[in-house]
Amino acid sequence: MFEAYVGRNQAAIFDDPVTRKGCELWLAKILAAYGENGESDTSGGVDVEIVESQLGLCEKTAEHIYSDFTPLEIRYRPGSRPQLEKVVAEATRPGMSERETVFALLRRCRDNRHRGLASPNLFYGGSEEELLKRGAHMCNEIARVFVCLCQVAGIPARVHSSHITGHMMAEVYVDGRWAWADPMKGMAPRLDDNRLANAWDLFCDPQLFERQPKEFWDDVRPSAPSPEQADHYMACQMARNRDCYFHPKEAMAIGNYYVWDFERYTFPWSLRCAHEERRQELLAELLRLKMEAGWPTYFSNEKQFDETLKTR
pLDDT at 301 over 90: no
Mean pLDDT in residue range 275-286: 96
Residue 111, CA distances (Å) to 13, 139, 165 in order: 36, 13, 23
**Shortest CA distance to 273 belongs to which of 264, 283, 265, 285?**
283
Q: 131-140, 202-211, 228-237, 298-307: which has the highest mean pLDDT?
A: 202-211
Q: Cα(189)–Cα(169) distance, rounded to whole angstroms?
A: 13
- Which pLDDT belongs to residue 298? 87
308 CB contacts (<8 Å, ≥6 apart)?
231, 235
Q: Cα(253)–Cα(56) distance, rounded to whole angstroms?
A: 4
- Which pLDDT belongs to residue 40? 76
Q: Cα(118)–Cα(86) distance, rounded to whole angstroms?
A: 22
> Could you tell me if 156 and 189 are in contact, meaning their C-beta atoms sit under 8 angstroms apart?
no
- Which pLDDT belongs to residue 149? 98
- Which pLDDT belongs to residue 120? 64
- Which pLDDT belongs to residue 224? 60
Q: Cα(67)–Cα(177) distance, rounded to whole angstroms?
A: 10
Q: Strands 54-57, 269-270: parallel, antiparallel or unpaired by DSSP?
A: unpaired
Chain centroid offset of residue 59 CA: 20
- pLDDT category, 68, cuts 50, 70, 90? very high
Mean pLDDT in residue range 258-269: 95
Q: For 168-226, write each residue's pLDDT tens digit.
A: 999 999 999 999 999 999 999 999 999 999 999 999 999 999 999 988 998 898 666 66
**Shortest CA distance to 199 belongs to which of 163, 226, 225, 234?**
163
**Shortest CA distance to 204 belongs to which of 247, 159, 141?**
247
Considering the chain, what is the average pLDDT of its residues? 93
Mean pLDDT in residue range 34-62: 91
Q: For 103-135, write each residue's pLDDT tens digit.
A: 999 999 999 988 877 666 677 889 999 999 999
Half-sphere exposure of 109 (CA within 13 A, CB side): 33
